[in-house]
Amino acid sequence: MNIAVTSSPPSPGSRVVKGACPHDCPDTCALRITVEDGRVVKVQGQPDHPSTHGALCTKVSRYAERTYHPERLLQPLRRVSRKDEPPRFEPVSWEAALSDIASRLGRIAARDPQAILPYSYAGTMGMLQGEAMAGRFFNRIGASQLDRTICASAGAAALTATYGHKLGMHLPHFAESRLVLIWGSNSIASNLHFWTYANKAKREGAKLICIDPRKTETADKCHQHIALLPGTDGALALGLMHELTTNGWLDTDYISRYVDGWDELREKALAWPPERVAEVCGISADEVRGLARDYATTAPAAIRLNYGMQRVRGGGNAVRLIALLPCLTGAWKHRAGGLLLSSSGWFAPYKNPMLERPDLMTVKAPRVINMSTIGDELNRESSPEFGPRIEAVIVYNSNPVAVAPESPKVVKGFARADLFTVVLEHFMTDTADLADYVLPATTQMEHLDVHTSYGHTDVLINEPAVAPLGQAKSNTQIFRELAAACGFDDAAFLDSDEQLARQAFTDAIDFDALQQRGWQSLPLREAPFAEGGFLTGSGRADARGADYVPNYESATSTPELAARYPLAMISPPARNFLNSSFVNVKSLRDIEGEPLVEIHADDAAARGLADGAMVRVFNDRGSYLSRLHVSGRARPGVVNGLGVWWRKLGAEGTNVNELTHQRLTDMGKAPSFYDCLVEVAPA
């Protein structure tokens, strides 16, 4: 495993700063940042933070390389070329940039402020550099609101429907499980600090089973790998319920006390015998039977479900069905049994709902734009249903031109001559290339922040380690100054970062103690649902209405389309990138090599394709040039297009999102990135 474990003492004259990893990852590691002469020289994991235990992933141990990257944006830039020309920018002062941006936004707002749209996601997961000051600004100006759906909202809606909130097992307890299902997650790549606990369980004799269309690094290390077809997890869950029912493996006492709607769901499950499941999932009936037996007869049994499996049309229902499994076997009765998809709901009672100051909102019930369909939204005209055409977009903490689905439409939207785009960034990303103004933002080494997590249950602080580089400013400071340039004199815009940090939580999280220690664990119930206590209105887990929903695109749901595009494409993360972040860090890009697509030997042979060939992956939406990797990691019928590369670093200025579509999941209005048919041909 390529993790960096180091805890050498600081040399004399150096300083150690308490940090938190800002990236969109369930691990939210506590950092130990060593500074010498005002410069970060080392980024390590905090040895005493339980889940970090002194170890970082390869990416974040290179955080200094990213911070001091020669291509860091260090001054504000104004566009001088047209949007349909290669991008050219000139440096401009902060004063000139902010005053021009304020006057252009002011003119749009005078017509209709809802023509202004913020576009942000989790480039940093920090509460301050995320939405604390940005939210205040957009509320005050009266902008459209953004529905932040691009990653997790199908699973979030499903967990909330089933358990009443985004809650699950506590991370450390996985180490005591006897059976761990790693379902839709390449933990070693994307959730390394969970893997440590799973590996501990393995060493103590637990069985590990990976459920994933791709034979990942994680599948390599599990005892068993079930390589189902993408988007068929709901069918597998129903098949498991069939077996639990017909073999008498249900915990009828737990169900009768703590589950609503099982009678209805049981009827549906009985229609899914292993043979039918096998056909839909592309696996064997014995795999279904064996999995059911292991799950029902091993205790405690834990499921690490992750977001990889909910990026398909039926992602929400699949999460619901899987989340019900531990309610049917009573696995929740043990603290090392149950399921974890997200722990973020545990923080809800500790967060200040007023941090982003919804009371400043100047437009009553502004319209909501879904970030996952930004390609379509930017290309819409004004209409009574839609409202005003989008005239300005302020992008921060996100790189939509690379990460949003169906990028041909996203590019077309951002390339509109009449769209005013401001991008707050560290680097000249694909999105920044299409901006009118690019504003240099600080990195996690240069600003204060506070963090929660969606994998563990600790609050963390990130102290600034060094002064901002060049003329970079933090997101909070940029929105503060933009508010001033717009003439907003509300006191809310005068709060310093430390004041924001002190406002972020209720009194139960003491900021001074956080500064002292670096992190604070939430007090938690050991086995949260041992006696029900779900956060649904009834206190019971809710099974009503859950059912398998087939993909938008598959051999069974769209046979005509599948005749032209017979391969299902998934596009999970590349291990050494974080979404599109780090793609420009050379040492990491060198490990990944180049954009590649993995294919099974039979599918390659049927197309006369050789390992290492350049191929065109295509469908009706677009075409993507990529290196072919004939690989045991791909199952028949499925190709794996790894990573969200920067378009401009790809072979023809495209990436995998050239092929994905904008249709939304059954719950939570999320994108269905992994529900996508393609064909592969020689380039």
Q: Which positions touch ligand MGD (CB under 6 A)?
A: 24-25, 121-124, 129, 150-151, 183-186, 189-191, 211-214, 216, 230-231, 233, 306-309, 312, 396-399, 403, 424-427, 429, 441, 475, 570-573, 575, 577-581, 644, 656-657, 660, 673-674
Q: Which is nearer to ligand MGD, 127 or 206 (CB)?
A: 127
Please identify, using beta-carbon distances, which residue of 151 and 237 lies nearer to Mo ion.
Answer: 151
> Smallest Cα–Cα separation from 132: which of 478, 394, 416, 437?
478
Q: How many CA atoms lie within 13 A of 194 on its CB side?
A: 36
Q: Whole-number minimum distance, CB 378 to Mo ion, in Å? A: 22
Please name the residues in contact with 622: beta carbons below 8 A apart, sequence gap of 6 or more: 406, 407, 408, 654, 658, 659
Nearer to ligand MGD by C-beta: 92 or 152?
Answer: 152
- CA–CA distance, 457 with 449 (Å, rounded to integer): 17
Backbone angles phi, psi at 347, to 5 degrees: -85, -15
Which tokens hold the place of 150?
């691009």
Out of 29, 108, 116, 151, which residue is the one contacting Mo ion (CB under 5 A)?
Answer: 151
**Would you give the end-to-end CA distance of the chain in angstroms?**
35
CB of 119 to Mo ion, least distance (A): 15
Stretch that binds Mo ion, among 83-91, 147-155, 165-173, 630-638 (CB under 5 A): 147-155
Q: C-beta of 384: minimal distance to ligand MGD in Å?
A: 31
Q: Is 261 or 573 the residue whose CB approaches Mo ion more closely?
A: 573
Q: Is the separation of the CB atoms in 380 and 390 below 8 Å? A: yes
Can you list the alpha helix ranges (DSSP code H) found in 404-535? 407-414, 475-485, 497-503, 511-517
Say if strands 301-305 and 338-340 run parallel, antiparallel, or are unpaired: parallel
Minimum distance from CB of 121 to Mo ion (Å)?
A: 8
Q: Torsion angle of alpha carbons 132, 134, 138, 140, nearest 10°?
A: 60
Q: Residue 96 contacts by C-beta under 8 Å, 6 or more apart in sequence?
A: 76, 78
Output the smallest distance, CB 449 to ligand MGD, in A.
Answer: 8
Q: What is the C-alpha to C-alpha distance for residues 320 and 234, in angstroms, rounded to an integer?
A: 8
216 binds, among Mo ion, ligand MGD, none (CB under 5 to 8 A by kind): ligand MGD
Burial classification of residue 592, based on how many CB atoms lie within 10 Å of its CB (0-12 exposed, 13-18 middle, 19 or more buried): middle
Tokens of 91: 């440096």
Binding partner at 308 among ligand MGD, Mo ion, none, C-beta below 5 to 8 Å by kind: ligand MGD
Cα separation of 606 and 414, whole Å? 39
**Look-up of token digits 């994991």:** 45
Distance CA 233, CA 571 (A): 17
**Number of neighbours of residue 428 by Cβ within 10 angstroms:** 20
Instruction: Indicate the residue among 457 and 581 with the shorter CB distance to Mo ion.
Output: 581
Element housing 542 (H / E): strand 541-542
Where would I find the H helices in 56-191? 58-61, 63-67, 94-111, 133-141, 153-163, 187-190
CB of 260 to ligand MGD, least distance (A): 26
Select 258 or 493, whichever has its Cβ closest to ligand MGD. 493
- Residues in contact with Mo ion, counted by CB under 5 A, come to a total of 1
Count of CA atoms in the C-beta half-sphere (13 A) of 143: 23
Going across the sheet that includes 116-120, the strands are 89-91, 77-79, 437-440, 420-425, 392-396, 116-120
The listed partner (ligand MGD, Mo ion, none) that binds 501, CB under 5 to 8 Å by sort, is: none
Which residue lies nearer to ligand MGD by CB, 226 or 628? 226
Q: With CB cut-offs between 5 and 8 Å by kind, which of ligand MGD, Mo ion, none does residue 578 bind?
A: ligand MGD
Asked whether the beta carbons of 35 and 17 are under 8 A apart, the reply is yes
Question: From the CA atom positions of the chain, what is the Rg in Å?
Answer: 25
Cβ at position 333, least distance to ligand MGD in Å: 26
Output 10 or 573, the one with its CB closest to Mo ion: 573
Which single residue brings its beta carbon nearest to Mo ion? 151
CB of 438 to Mo ion, least distance (A): 24
Least distance CB 183 / ligand MGD (angstroms)? 6
CB of 24 to Mo ion, least distance (A): 5
Residue with Cβ nearer Mo ion (226 or 667): 667
Choose the one of ligand MGD, Mo ion, none that binds residue 25, judging by a C-beta under 5 to 8 angstroms depending on kind: ligand MGD
- Nearest residue (CB) to Mo ion, 151 versus 604: 151
Nearer to ligand MGD, 116 or 151 (CB): 151
Residues β-bridged to residue 425: 440
Question: Is 401 a binder of Mo ion (CB under 5 A)?
Answer: no
Q: Which is nearer to Mo ion, 511 or 673 (CB)?
A: 673
Work out what residue 488 binds among Mo ion, ligand MGD, none; the CB cut-off runs from 5 to 8 Å by kind.
Answer: none
In the complex, minimum distance from the CB of residue 150 to ligand MGD, in angstroms, rounded to a whole number = 5
Which entry of Mo ion, ligand MGD, none binds 322, CB below 5 to 8 A by partner kind? none
| The entry of ligand MGD, Mo ion, none that residue 406 binds, CB within 5 to 8 Å by partner kind | none
Closest CB 75 distance from ligand MGD, rounded Å: 15
The helix/strand/coil state of 456 is coil
Find the length of the chain. Answer: 683
Contact partner, 211, from Mo ion, ligand MGD, none, Cβ < 5-8 Å per class: ligand MGD
Q: Which residues of the shown chain bind Mo ion in the complex (CB under 5 A)?
A: 151
